[in-house]
Structure 1
Amino acid sequence: MSTGAYDCLYQTLGSGPPIVKPKFEDVTVTQDIYGNVESTRRTAESLKYKVEKDRYNDIAILIRRRLSSTREALWIQMEIQSPDIQETVTKVCGHSDLLNTKVSPIVIRKPYLILFHYRAELREYDLHSDRTDQEKVHLKVLVDFMAKAFTRDEAEYSRLIDKGQVSFPIVWTLFKPEEEVFIHESHFVRCGRVQSLHGINKTQGWSLGTRSWDYDGTFFGPVDSVSPLQPFEGICDITSLPVYPVRFHKNQNKDDLRQRLIERGRKWKSMVDVTHLSYEGSDDNSVQLQVSSRIITDYATHQQANPHHATAFSWYNASLTKQTKEPPADDGNDDGDDVDDAERQTQALEKEDKEAQKEHDRFFLQRHDSSYIMSDDQALLCPAKIRGFSLMDKKWAFFLVENATDIQWLENPMERLEIDGAPKKS
């Protein structure tokens, strides 16, 4: 029956469209063996959907532990539910990409890396004379939690770090969010920026997430990788770790190594287009080969031939967007001093926003064209290897940038041409 026919039927019966009641109901329908409905009745209470209320949603700070069915620890996280503590954490360390302050509760996974590296600022904020009584009560919960969580680590940190040493239980304290780190791999060193640190406890290994700079044949952009930190016994030098912050590198070599990586990054950028080069060294393939031949660098074709090695960019839109603070609202009752303070605060926030936007733009996708000029920070994070094809072995592989050089063509090649002195017979 058409819609018009239904309208005529309603008019004939003298009734309009049915009235829908604004309520929710749960019913159970029983059918016979032929699929015909036998009965419809309200669902029993024991079978209805239930929304479980969190019994702990009124706690300022909640530590939540997730276990598997075999009682193995999956993760431990801190949930900040107090608005006063949320505001404090947002003001002090909300600019970090590791912290999402736009949600409630604010969640921080163990080992609470962001809190450890901003612990001094958080404690100083708590002691400020402008705090209200309620803020002081709630902030004391945060300060007490940090004291309980970090006391032993801080003592060990103070004892070893100034000496350039570290033990495995505190190795996680070395890595500050967004800090540059040197990553030692076979045959080369590369640089990354700290993005995450995952682990369950201080006796198992850690997974350090870092961000670097790469190319996919069309765009330059940020890529993520993970470096494992395996447990070790006793105490070791920080610079002997497979990954460590640039600030701990030997003073006499730090600037030299950093500058060398920047120069290598610029060399890498000059080679990403199709380039004919000479190469002497090993390739990075499933079976390493010693290569002494000419190679062709070609990112786009390499990725077509090896799609499992294609460059996968980070979620740059979400993870690289800085979270900035909103300026305070004007209630119209401020006196002159308060107005001046508000203006100064607004100017400070605007300056911070500009710096955050500059930081964001620095690590955003860049199209490979003549307008793109690579910065030193981007060059520092570039790969140590270039994608290419070995003309001798007829194989696609990764080649160390430092071992690739321009081809040395012979001067006056015609003068070196030798022809058999015997006359040719026609």
Structure 2
Amino acid sequence: MAPGSDTASPSETLKANGANGATASGNESKDETVKYAPIGSICDIHSMYESKPDESGNRSWTKELPSDLPDPAEDDESAQYALILRKSRCYDGRKNLELHSVVIQSQPLKNFLGKVLDGYPGVTTTLERLEFTKPFAPLVHRWETFLRVRSEEQDSVTKEHVELFYRILEGELRDVISLKKDLVANNVVTYDLVWSIFEPDDFMIGSMEGHQTALLFSEAYVDCRTKAWKIEGKFITFDGDDFGFETDVFTIPPFFGTTPITSLSAFPLRYHAGQAAIREALVARGKRWEEHRGYHFKQYEGPATRFLEDDEVKYNVKSRIIIDADAFNIFHPTESVSIDDKVDDTLTDDQRLITSPMVYGYSLKDKEWLRFALDNAHDIEWDSRAFDSLVLPEGQGNLKQLILAIAKAQSQQLDNFDDVVQGKGRGIILQLSGPPGVGKTLTAESVAEVMKVPLYAMSAGDLGTSAGRVEQNLKKILRMIPKWGAVLLLDEADVFMEARTSTDLERNELVSIFLRILDYYEGILFLTTNRAENIDAAFESRIHVSLAYRNLDASSRRHIWSQFLDTPSGPAFSSEQLDKVAAVELNGRQIKNVLKTANLLAQVERGPTQV
């Protein structure tokens, strides 16, 4: 204790014990409690030393300085030499010691290696301490360059230092280099030498979800748990704003003997016999992939991947899709597309070679955000006759052109009208009412077809029934659709449009939410209903065009029968037969179902279709 003070000095607190004040040892009384300075308050250093490993190889830390520490091996004496070789014990039965690493101290030798390893990633030959560690991968990969630059060297001092280094390397790497040459000449490799065939920034070939792809090699290492090789490569992807790199990892399990290089899950492109053709095909695909930035409407058939937390689910998709990485990130943030290093907006052929074979977007039929293979996406074959085939009762035919004209004008944003409140009332809402099977849904489908834009069809079942879920889903959908210039169809919208009452508060809330969200929708919306007479009065002021469909008359039914029955070889039915079937009161959907059933029966009986 310091004179005249009640506090312990730092020197008196060296036996500090944490929180509970352990008793002092030695000559001090067992009842006397040692006092400690507050945690972290002493401006000094307290060192601990690693102890020797126990029988299980575990180590701990001690306050005692080890008594058997050797003197440092590198000192002023060792600094005089061009090279320092560090050797470790060898237990392979052939020699007692093996080379562990080499430290280059010679400046002329560093200058020489600068030419040999120019551009080799991860190696900076101008460092004051230049070190190479077994298996000396950079020197194995650049061995041919080493020999060439060695033969060209003219400076006598440099040549002397190079020859010294060469003798060491040649003795150490002779077997590895010789075996690698032999293996490569036979297009095979052993498990132990997998690392030797991969050089940094090599173009390598792999497979991504069954599609051949090229990547830029990054790193090869062995998984300490499975003992499998892990081969990392970089490829270029698009995050909705920029092109940039993403990493993929390929696994090569342990194997005995030799295996063909091209049978590995990933291997350098230069070892492929058809490398020129593969490069040309992948660059061509990369150009096509580059053109799919932004959003694009395509037809897709094939496997696709859905991301579900930490799992991936495969879908077999046959649908029109919207490719849009930006929207994927917005509406599917848990598995968003991300990049590491940004690259220029215009790609080179080398960059197109390593672009991803995958694109991200939305399946309109499955209503899922998915990852698609670009090879399975194709241009849409639009049905230009869809709108012409739409049959309306006599006297309503001109409404078809009115609907189409309004939809086109809205799609092209020709209407600059805005509400008193900015952003409100900018959409176009069309109500189609009438009995089932008279063409309400077909109207929306044919408008989208002739305009060559996506059709997003949904029903009450897609939105849910609780007010909160409906609001959440509607906001998301009504935010997506205008971005793509799509036509939105809400089929059988009665549940959201039915007149509010004083008793059904839950339905009232649904209707109110729907009305409020519609006010700020900026796209084209078709609403279909079978019960127009029950619609809430508030919708009347929000609907721009209302079209009431009537039951099909005989003339309309005849036209539908004729359309379905026309074949390339001519009409399947005579005029009299068409008159006969048109007299039967059926709607359009029923006519289609009758013909489909008759066609299936005719195929079974191998006879002509009978009605």
Q: TM-score, normalised by structure 1?
A: 0.66
Deviations 1:365-396 (A, max 9, x none): 22xxxxx4322111111001001112222221
Question: Which SS does the other structure have where 2:366 is aligned?
Answer: coil
- Sort the Cα spacing of 1:99 and 1:226 in 2 relative to 1 into closer, same or farther, 3 A: farther
Would you say the 8 A contact 1:296–1:388 is kept in 2?
A: yes
1:192 aligns with 2:215: yes
Confirm or deny: 8 A CA contact 2:243 2:339 kept in the other structure: no
Q: Does 1:381 align with 2:402?
A: no
- Structure 2 residue 554 is matched with structure 1 residue 422: yes
Contact 1:190 1:383 in 2 (8 A): yes
Amino acid at match of 2:554: A
Task: Provide the C-alpha distance between the structure 2 equivalents of 1:139 and 1:53, rounded to a whole number of angstroms.
Answer: 30
Q: Which residue does 1:365 correspond to in 2? A: 343
Shift in Å, 1:53:
8.8
Q: CA separation in 1, counterparts of 2:44 and 2:264?
A: 65
Following superposition, the deviation at residue 63 of structure 1 comes to 4.9
Q: Which amino acid aligns with 1:283?
A: A
1:422 counterpart letter in structure 2: A
For 1:112-131, what aligned pairs fall within 5 Å after superposition?
Answer: 112-128=136-152, 130-131=154-155
Q: Is the 1:28–1:43 Cα contact (8 Å) retained in structure 2?
A: no
**More relative contact order, 1 or 2 (CA 8 Å, 6+ apart):** 1
Would the alpha carbon gap of residues 64 and 386 (structure 1) be closer, same or farther in structure 2, given more than 3 Å must change? farther
In structure 1, list runs of 5 or more residues that go unmatched: 1-26, 66-75, 315-363, 367-371
- Counterpart amino acid of residue 312 in structure 1: I
Structure 2 residue 325 is the aligned partner of structure 1 residue 299 = yes
Which of 271, 274, 284 does residue 248 from structure 1 map onto? 271
1:114/1:177 contact within 8 Å kept: no
Q: Is the 8 A contact 2:114 2:126 kept in 1?
A: no
Percent identical residues: 22
1:61–1:141 Cα contact (<8 Å) kept: no
Q: Which structure's CA Rg is the greater one?
A: 2
Map Cα deviations across residues 20-56 of structure 1 (whole Å, 9 max, x no partner): xxxxxxx9554685969xxx9999999899xx99533
Q: 2: CA distance between counterparts of 1:397 and 1:278? A: 14
Provide the residue aligned with 2:104 in structure 1: 80
Give 3-state SS (helix, strand or coil) of 1:99's partner: coil
**In the aligned structure 1, how far is the partner of 2:43 from the partner of 2:289?**
71
Contact 1:283 1:400 in 2 (8 A): yes
- The one of 300, 309, 324 aligned to 1:279: 300
Aligned equivalent of 1:171, options 172, 194, 203? 194
Residues 310 and 128 of structure 1, relative CA distance in 2, 3 Å threshold: same
Aligned equivalent of 1:99: 123
1:122, CA displacement in angstroms?
1.9
Structure 1 residue identity aligned to 2:299: S
User: One-letter code of the match for 2:340?
Assistant: F
- Taking a change above 3 Å as real, the CA distance of residues 378 and 131 of structure 1, as seen in their structure-2 partners, is same
CA separation of 1:62/1:41 partners in 2, compared to 1, >3 Å: closer, same or farther? same
* 2:262 counterpart residue number: 239
The CA distance in 2 between the partners of 1:78 and 1:289, in whole Å, is 54
Partners of 1:392 and 1:164 in 2: CA distance: 47
Give the 3-state SS of the residue equivalent to 1:261 in structure 2.
helix
TM-score, structure 2 normalization: 0.47
Q: Could you tell me which of 323, 334, 338 is aligned with 1:311?
A: 338
Which piece of structure 1 moves more, 53-62 or 269-278? Answer: 53-62
> Unaligned regions of 5+ residues in structure 2, if any?
1-8, 14-33, 49-62, 89-99, 307-311, 393-551, 557-584, 586-611
Q: Which amino acid aligns with 1:170?
A: L
Match of 1:395 in 2: 368
| Match 1:405 to one of 366, 371, 378 | 378
Partners of 1:132 and 1:228 in 2: CA distance: 47
Would the aligned equivalents of 1:99 and 1:108 in 2 still touch at CA under 8 Å?
Answer: no
Describe the shift of the 1:270–1:45 C-alpha distance in structure 2 as closer, same or farther (beyond 3 A).
Answer: closer
> Amino acid of the residue matched to residue 269 of structure 2?
V
1:188 CA drift (Å): 0.8
Contact kept? 1:61, 1:79, Cα under 8 Å: yes
Q: 1:126 to 1:249 in 2, by over 3 A?
A: closer
Matched, 1:223 2:246: yes
Residue in 2 aligned with 1:182? Answer: 205
Distance 1:42 1:415, change over 3 A: closer
Give the direction of change, closer, same or farther, for the CA distance of 1:79–1:272 in structure 2 (3 Å limit).
farther
CA-to-aligned-CA distance 1:116-154 (integer Å, 9 cap, x gap): 121122234345562334x34533443234224422222
Deviation at 1:108, TM superposition (A): 4.2
CA RMSD of aligned residues (A): 3.7
Partner of 2:561: none
| 1:94 alignment partner AA | D
1:150 alignment partner, SS class: helix
CA distance in 2, matches of 1:194, 1:298: 28
Count of aligned residue pairs for this structure pair: 327
